[in-house]
Amino acid sequence: MKFAATLLLALTVLVPFYFLSNGTFYLSDSSLSGLAFDKNSAAAQYVTHLLSHVGLAHLLGNILPLIAFGLVLEQIVGSLSVIALFLASGIISSVVFAVLNPAVVLVGASTGVAGLMAATTLVKPKRALVLLLLIPIVLLLVPPAASFFNSIQLNSLELQNSSLSQQVAILTIQNKTQEAARANQTLQKVQIVFQETKKGIEREKVTPTDTLVHMLGAVLGALFVLAFHRQAVRKGLNDFESMGRSMRELEEKLLKKRK
């Protein structure tokens, strides 16, 4: 399959997170801490922090450029290199950042995505330029889309809570003890999901981002293709030169018109 690696990465980021969050895209603080990365992390967290996110907007903000740049890059360097580059950029940049900032906890695929973006820019600058112009415009739609989804989700949970509360009350009055107990267990689960989702939405609003760790990811992505795909980088540099000539020609034409 031509774009197997990019699709695999996107699904690996999306699907486990969806099920772990019970379809809400918001984990509890304790669950998120168990997946996040810091200087004291277990071995598994070197990878799990790249596949976990603070919330829906954070997830969409990473998965969209992952797909866009990954699809372009995979055509040039192949599937294995895309996966290796994503993991290397994400893990190494996080380790370096954690050493420099031991009190900070990291979560999200953005360091790996930054590596994909930098690598794509080196080997396919024309397409990368188009994506670099389009992706920010698309990402402007992410916060309102996430907010809309969250409002629907919270309303649905509130309706479930109300319906189950009534059901428990009716079953209790009818002296159906076992049925009431089962309904009450479901009610408690819904209430927990509601509280975790609401708390997660608020947490996402105040969670900061850091430029340095993204820069590290980008540098590592660039170094990866410079080390393992030099021919592709040479072609990319030729494209850069071609773009430069085109810009100079355009500038000259505009200057002539003004005269």
Residue 9's pLDDT band, with cuts at 50, 70 and 90, is very high
Between residues 248 and 41, the one the model is more confident about: 41
Residue 251's pLDDT band, with cuts at 50, 70 and 90, is confident
Report the pLDDT averaged over residues 56-76. 97
Statement: 4-143+208-258 belongs to CATH 1.10.132.10: no
Which DSSP string corresponds to 103-137? T--B-SSHHHHHHHHHHHHHH-HHHHHHHHHHHHH
Tell me the residue type at 178.
Q
Tell me what the pLDDT averaged over the chain comes to.
93
Taking only the tens place, the pLDDT of each residue in 155-188 is 999 999 999 999 999 999 999 999 999 999 999 9
| The pLDDT value given to residue 4 | 92
Q: List 211's β-bridge partners, or say none.
A: none
Supply 33's token pair: 């801490």
Taking only the tens place, the pLDDT of each residue in 82-104 is 999 999 999 999 999 999 998 89
Identify the top-confidence range among 2-6, 37-41, 128-132: 128-132
| The pLDDT value given to residue 162 | 96
* Spans of all domains in the chain: 4-143+208-258, 145-203
Supply 181's token pair: 């107990």
Instruction: Find the helix packing angle between 110-123 and 79-100, rounded to 10°.
Output: 130
Proportion of the chain above pLDDT 70, given as a percent: 98
Model pTM above 0.85: yes
- Asked if pLDDT for residue 72 goes beyond 80, the answer is yes
- Asked if pLDDT for residue 258 goes beyond 70, the answer is no
Interior/surface letters 26-48, b for 16+ CB within 10 angstroms, e for the rest = bbbeeebeebbbbeebeeebbeb
- 72, 73, 74, 76: CA torsion to nearest 10: 100
The phi, psi pair for 228, rounded to 5°, reads -115, -10
